[in-house]
Structure 1
Amino acid sequence: MLAAARQALRELQAEQLEEQAAAAGDALEAEASAETEPRLYFEKLPDFVDQFLTKAYRREIPARSTWCAEWWKHPEAVLRLSALWRAWEALRLEPGTGMSVWWRDHADPHMARLLDTNGPFKGCTRDQHQQNGKLEPLPFDTPPPELYDPLTYAG
């Protein structure tokens, strides 16, 4: 019986050592991946918009364009600006043409939509948020359940 108890204790200790080794390996792996992942230059979207975008994208805002100083109150604008920020964070690290690609493929198209008179800031003026009322979301009806079947999209 003493031998069986010693054997059980050795197995328990071996199991605990394996768990500790696995935990240490996971910790090292997490630390290594954290070191290889680049840090964000701008920690938050408002930092990117305030400290970079509004300074880099200097424009006179003509009567046919719109911008809202309270951009965070417009869901589409937040999504577009977030996309611009994330793309900028990724492309700033690309050597050579990274920033050119960001301007051409991201900034110019998104900013054109944001500043468009029928864009997300419609009804806003440069100095005042949505004087003409709130923009409504697109109409939506719940689709039939079979549309959610993955085979529907197989082609």
Structure 2
Amino acid sequence: MADDEGLPDFEVPVGLFQDLEDLKAEVARLSGQVRQLTDGIIADEGVPAADDQEPAGDEEEGEGDGEEEPQFPPFILMLDSPEYDDELRLLIEWVEGVLVPGYLAEPSSDARWCHMWFEHPVAVARLHALWLAWQELTDPATCGYTGPSTWHRDHLDPCLRELRPSTGPYAGCTKGEHQVDHRLPGLVPSAWSRPEE
């Protein structure tokens, strides 16, 4: 083996061969999907697709893979009962169990909070969005270790700045008193019509 004298002396890890085989299998699978997609386009145009039977089986596997992806909960305001009620119940558990004891100080005129927050639609919408972000950003599998910091900076702080000021959704609520209708606008006359004289 005189040809081997110029090559460096090192061993190829066994895992490298396995990785190559995995890559070959993945390329073959993707090539099959491309072929299925192009055959589907040709079939839609009225031209008969080649290998019509084989891609159909592969296509079902591809669709099955898509259905196995994790399903994310919809935004709470897009839900109807009973799904809305179930999601609100879970949100209440999180707000009362995590947010209130961990992040909310005593309410004041500058930092309001309503004990009936779940009756304020604006608060429910903002807190639900905050909770969805918390679920994603406190899981190291989805966000790494910087997720909680991002959640505080990008989600918690802005949410509390919008909910707790004296002009926020709890503006009419004081300690022990709850008022939902304070944010609902009354009848506003149109700027384009003139009062009849």
Q: TM-score, normalised by structure 2?
A: 0.50
Match of 1:69 among 115, 124, 130: 115
User: Which segments of 5 or more consecutive residues in structure 1 lack a partner in the other structure?
Assistant: 1-14, 142-155
Is 2:175 aligned against 1:129? no
Alignment of 1:84-95 (within 5 A): 84-93=130-139, 94-95=143-144
Look up the match of 2:97: 51
Is 2:126 aligned against 1:80? yes
Shift of 1:28: 4.7
Among all aligned residue pairs of Structure 1 and Structure 2, give the percentage whose two residues are the same amino acid. 35
Supply the distance in 1 between the matched residues of 2:145 and 2:59 (Cα, whole angstroms): 41
- Cα distance change, pair 23–123 in 1 and its aligned pair in 2 (3 A): same
When the two chains are superposed, the root-mean-square deviation of aligned CA atoms in Å is 3.2
Match of 2:64 among 13, 27, 44: 27
User: Which segments of 5 or more consecutive residues in structure 2 lack a partner in the other structure?
Assistant: 1-51, 74-86, 191-197
Structure number with greater CO (CA < 8 Å, separation at least 6) is 1
How many residue pairs get aligned? The number is 121
Look up the match of 2:20: none
Letter in 1 for 2:106: E
Greater C-alpha radius of gyration: 2
